[in-house]
């Protein structure tokens, strides 16, 4: 019984390690925006559901996946089209994390394609995570009754507008386990 438990635990750790690479996104921490945006996110409520899709494809099907994503996320069409014609090995890692739409509704999209170096280099791993999120700045009850926007509210709204990619990445890291790797300037 103990041997079976150890094997299951080892398999689970292996799956978590493999998934960590798939759900990993590198982002630059310019001007301390990580801390600034994390502080802002603690004062923002957000609701919504995410769809996650993790799958393998043969390399010769990459254009089909790109075309499917272009249809689904039309705002990213030009950037995705460039994936088809990238210089060098077109199967190296490519990823996009973007917030789409504005206002109180935000669509968070993370797309990633990469070669894991398995199965004689014939397969690519694909990750698609997207969700529609409604965002609302938490309001002090007193200010809400007075229908007055506090300076803090204005500050957080400005941060959302100034750093939408970082806010989207942080929301996805808290909601769907996207692992953010912060790189210094």
Which residues make Cβ contacts (< 8 Å) with residue 184, sequence separation at least 6? Answer: 28, 29
- Tell me which of 142 and 115 has the higher pLDDT: 115
Full residue range of the structural domain in which residue 131 is found:
2-184
pTM for this model (two decimals):
0.76
| pLDDT of 99 over the 70 cut | yes
Q: What value does the mean pLDDT take over residues 13-23?
A: 53
Q: Select from 48, 83, 49, 52 the least CA-distant residue to 67.
A: 83
- pLDDT class of 41 with cuts at 50, 70, 90: confident
99 close to 108: Cβ distance less than 8 angstroms:
yes
Helix axes 164-176, 33-41, angle to 10 degrees: 60
| pLDDT of 29 over the 50 cut | yes
Mean pLDDT, the chain, whole residue set? 79
Scored b (16 or more CB within 10 A) or e, 107-133 reads bbbbbbbbeeeeeeeebbbbbbbbbeb
- Tell me which of 30 and 147 has the higher pLDDT: 30
**pLDDT score recorded for residue 16:** 44
97 close to 110: Cβ distance less than 8 angstroms:
yes
Please state, in angstroms and rounded to a whole number, the distance separating the CA atoms of residues 155 and 138.
12
**pLDDT score recorded for residue 128:** 94
Residue position matching structure tokens 């996104």:
25
63 close to 84: Cβ distance less than 8 angstroms:
yes
Please state, in angstroms and rounded to a whole number, the distance separating the CA atoms of residues 155 and 36.
11
CA-only gyration radius of the chain, Å: 20
Q: What value does the mean pLDDT take over residues 28-35?
A: 87
Q: What value does the mean pLDDT take over residues 142-160?
A: 66
Please state, in angstroms and rounded to a whole number, the distance separating the CA atoms of residues 106 and 164.
9
Number of domains in the chain: 1
């Amino acid at each position: 019984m103990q041997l079976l438990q150890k094997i299951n635990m080892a398999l689970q750790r292996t799956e978590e390690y493999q998934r960590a690479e798939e759900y990993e996104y590198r982002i630059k921490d310019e001007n301390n925006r990580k801390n600034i945006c994390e502080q802002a996110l603690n004062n923002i409520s957000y609701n919504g559901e995410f769809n996650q899709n993790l799958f393998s494809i043969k390399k010769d099907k990459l254009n089909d996946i790109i075309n499917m994503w272009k249809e689904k996320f039309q705002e990213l069409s030009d950037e995705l089209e460039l994936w088809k014609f990238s210089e060098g090995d077109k199967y190296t890692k490519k990823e996009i994390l973007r917030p789409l739409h504005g206002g109180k509704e935000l669509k968070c999209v993370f797309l990633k394609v990469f070669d894991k170096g398995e199965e004689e280099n014939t397969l690519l791993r694909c990750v698609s995570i997207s969700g529609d999120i409604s965002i609302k700045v938490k309001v002090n009850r007193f200010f809400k009754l007075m229908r007055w926007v506090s300076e803090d509210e204005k500050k957080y709204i400005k941060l959302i507008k100034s750093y939408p990619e970082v806010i989207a990445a942080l929301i996805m890291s808290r909601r769907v386990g996207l692992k953010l790797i912060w790189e210094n300037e």
